[in-house]
Amino acid sequence: MRTPEEFDEIRPYDPEELPQVFSELVSDPEFQEVIKQILPDKPLDVVCAMLSQCHNSLELQKMFFYPLLKQLAETCGKGLTLDCTTISDKKHPHTFITNHRDIVLDSAFLSIALLDNDFPTTVEIAIGDNLLIKPWIRKLVRANKSFIVQRSVNIKQMLESSKRLSRYMHYAITQKNENIWIAQREGRAKDSNDRTQESVLKMIAMGGEGSLIERLKEMNLTPTALSYEYDPCDYLKAQEFQQKRDFAGFKKSPQDDLLNMQTGIFGYKGRIFFKTGNCLNDWLDTLDPNMPKGDLFKAVAHKIDQEIFRSYRLYPGNYIAADLLKGTQEHQNFYTQEEVVAFESYIGKQLEKVTLKRPDPAFLRERILTMYANPVFNQEQALQEA
């Protein structure tokens, strides 16, 4: 099925476009270098032959990305688990709206976890154009079922861009029968205080038909929590906090984004866990259809947050960070003294990686501890409200 022309600028590639895209990728010297790094045992002609066997993006994912990501989850972590017991019909498309930790791997790990749990397909991925810093990256992500969120357009273009993005997402769910992954907010929550941005929900509700509630229901919104035991980018996030504190108007460069992507992919993550919450459709039916728009979006954002908070898997490091931050032993039943020593050692090693000319060790340490502690605080609050 040919995707409507109005989405050509932002959509994933259609199957008939892939042979040309593959040809362009393997002819790109930068992409060739990437292939040498991630597939050192496969000559370029072998890679070309493998690509020729991929007739659609799902086959590409199964041929290349699935084995690479499975290996990554084992070598740079302690395995990958998905609890999707809230989903009864795996053939029915869902919009997995998740907290956001890693630029690349959040959606990638979810995709392979879906395949491991007998879902017939993976997810189409919402990705900001600010990350597509090289031509080969733009081509590769679109071949890998990504659609583009245009963040670099001007204010006048933003509204129409958002409407088109929303129309595409509704099309992907209702016509292509594809799952979607989208973060609950623009960019990662650097302090792990995961809060759904109402602007994301407003964008989603621009497409589709009927009332706002009907438009949201059409997307089968399924809040999903992801929990990494360790965040290899924690020191980079802390470093960015200090840069924003010390330099007014500080913004990351494309090189900073590239470093974050590389560090996130190849750094150690420990245990990796996803858990789906309940699809929001039944809950949406309980809302007053006449409630003001602002109240509606606020209520939906809060519901998504609560579902994600309750679904976190918390690790010893999370509880240790919470106690270190508050100067208590409130959560001591969740960790041992040996785990405290190991976590303190980990934090120290991460702080040694900071490259600032004048690092503020106390501030940086507090920022990293906050990243690991916030999921504890948010889950406890959500369970009290349940």
pLDDT on residue 156 = 85
Q: How many domains does the chain have?
A: 2
What is the C-alpha to C-alpha distance for residues 93 and 119, in angstroms, rounded to an integer? 10
Do 334 and 348 lie in a common domain?
A: yes
Residue 43 lies in a domain: no
- pLDDT digits over 90-115, tens only? 999 999 999 999 999 999 999 999 99
Residue 209 lies in a domain: yes
Distances (CA, A) of 384 to 225, 306, 309, 377, 380: 18, 11, 11, 11, 6
- pLDDT digits over 327-346, tens only? 999 999 999 999 999 999 99
Segments forming the whole domain that contains residue 295: 67-229+271-310
Do 106 and 238 lie in a common domain?
A: no
Which pairs count as long-range contacts for 147-151, CB under 8 Å and 24+ apart, including other chains? 147/7, 147/10, 147/11, 147/12, 147/172, 148/9, 148/10, 149/10, 150/10, 151/186
Do 157 and 258 lie in a common domain?
A: no
pLDDT < 50: residue spans in the chain = none
Positive or negative, the CA dihedral 196, 236, 152, 130 is negative
Do 297 and 373 lie in a common domain?
A: no
pLDDT on residue 269 = 97
Do 102 and 152 lie in a common domain?
A: yes
What is the C-alpha to C-alpha distance for residues 318 and 371, in angstroms, rounded to an integer? 9
Do 105 and 160 lie in a common domain?
A: yes
Do 222 and 237 lie in a common domain?
A: no
pLDDT on residue 155 = 86
Residue 163 lies in a domain: yes
Beta bridge partners of 95: 180, 221
Do 159 and 243 lie in a common domain?
A: no
Do 97 and 212 lie in a common domain?
A: yes
pTM score, whole prediction: 0.96
- pLDDT digits over 289-331, tens only? 999 999 999 999 999 999 999 999 999 999 999 999 999 999 9
